[in-house]
Amino acid sequence: MAEFSFELDDDQKAVRDWIHGFAADVMRPAAAEWDEREETPWPIIQEAAKIGLYSLDFYAQQYFDPTGLGIPMTMEELFWGDAGIALSIVGTGLAAVGVLANGTEEQIGTWIPQMYGDADDVKVAAFCSSEPDAGSDVGSMRTRAVYDEAKDEWVLNGTKTWATNGGIANVHVVVAVVDPEIGSKGHASFIVPPGTPGLSQGQKFKKHGIRASHTAEVVLDQVRVPGNCLLGGKEKLDERLARAREKAKGGGGRLKNAAMATFEASRPAVGAMAVGTARAAYEVALDYAKTRQQFGRPIIDNQGVAFQLADMRTRIDAARLMVWRASWMAVTGKPFDSAEGSMSKLFASETAKQVTAQAVQILGGNGFTREYPVERMHRDAAIYTIFEGTSEIQRLVIARTLSGVQIR
């Protein structure tokens, strides 16, 4: 078991510096353009693929880093570059985690490579869970999956929303209800292969931030997928549903559903994204405060500015440590007895919103213009307290875990 350390080893530092170079040299110069275009930055993704940064092999190496720090380190550096472009590069990872969390070895080996493609033919994937009436309330999910035993096929119907890469993905991972009588315990995840009839893109959203990342509805109309596209397989699903029904009769026990298993695994990674954006805004504000002259001296000479910067850096470092702790706990199999994964996501997300707002304030009128990147960073930071579990949901998870009470 890897010992927990605050110090990256030489190999990790080399990877970090390599990613940082890509973020600084390729992502940042293109960030404003793709934010304005509100389109998927395919040329940037392809550049990442050419150097091996967008590839199954790279993310597998980081995912299986025995210290747990490979993924958060990667996320922080990419999102330091630009949140919208970074989400286009890493958005496939949520679908991949969905397969890793719920799929068989054969499914993992078959579908995850198809999510990425290769440097000559780049692909992306989408994880589809949220619905128009089921965001935080996953128990209200309406998308149905019905098993056609005669054909060994599952038939999916419904509408998903807020899907990163939804509709443009090569592979979609869809969470659907297979047994509505047991609420969220009756959910399962399905692979929808490329070109499957009945899947289409609905509304593409024009967003406040992360505008270089494609977000859209996914419509499922009589979508038929083979039986082996049920993640985990039908035998495992039947066993899980039987246990859930027994628990429901007895009124006790808790079982994780397919979507929650994915989100629990990804929360520290989202925290790392937030740390990257916060760090980027802090660095811009620090440099600006050192050079901006008012009343005959740099504005950092004023306590009102200097103390803000001190608080910003303190929160960023604290958030990173919480993310690293949760990531190390996850990879070493230590349970989140105090909801450490949710804690890391909550604190880092709130830090990103606060730090980017302070950066805008330090830059004053310049911070409110698109001539300086903190305006974009502030818009981007708003998403962290919303997606993959709102801050309110994280607080609910933490409170329930600490108290043992089903707080509502």
Q: Which residues are catalytic?
A: 388
For residue 309, the one-letter residue type is L
DSSP letter assigned to residue 259: H
- Tracing tokens 């990147």 back to the chain, one arrives at 373
Amino acid code (one letter) for 255:
L
Contact assessment for residue 192 and residue 229, using Cβ atoms and an 8 Å cutoff:
yes
172 contacts 123 by C-beta, under 8 angstroms: no
- Return the residue matching tokens 């495992």: 236
Residue in the structure block whose two tokens are 């006790």: 252
Torsion angles phi and psi, residue 329, rounded to 5: -60, -40
- Choose among 204, 210, 174: nearest CA to 189: 174
Angle at 228 between CA 227 and CA 234, to 5 degrees: 70
Q: How far apart are CA 333 and CA 349, in angstroms?
A: 24
- How many of the other CB atoms lie within 10 Å of CB of 50? 14
CA separation, residue 228 to residues 149, 172, 222 (Å): 12, 15, 17
Burial class (CB in 10 A: 0-12, 13-18, 19+), 369: exposed
Classify residue 126 by its DSSP letter: E
3-state secondary structure of 306: helix
Measured CA to CA, the distance from residue 289 to residue 310 in angstroms comes to 12
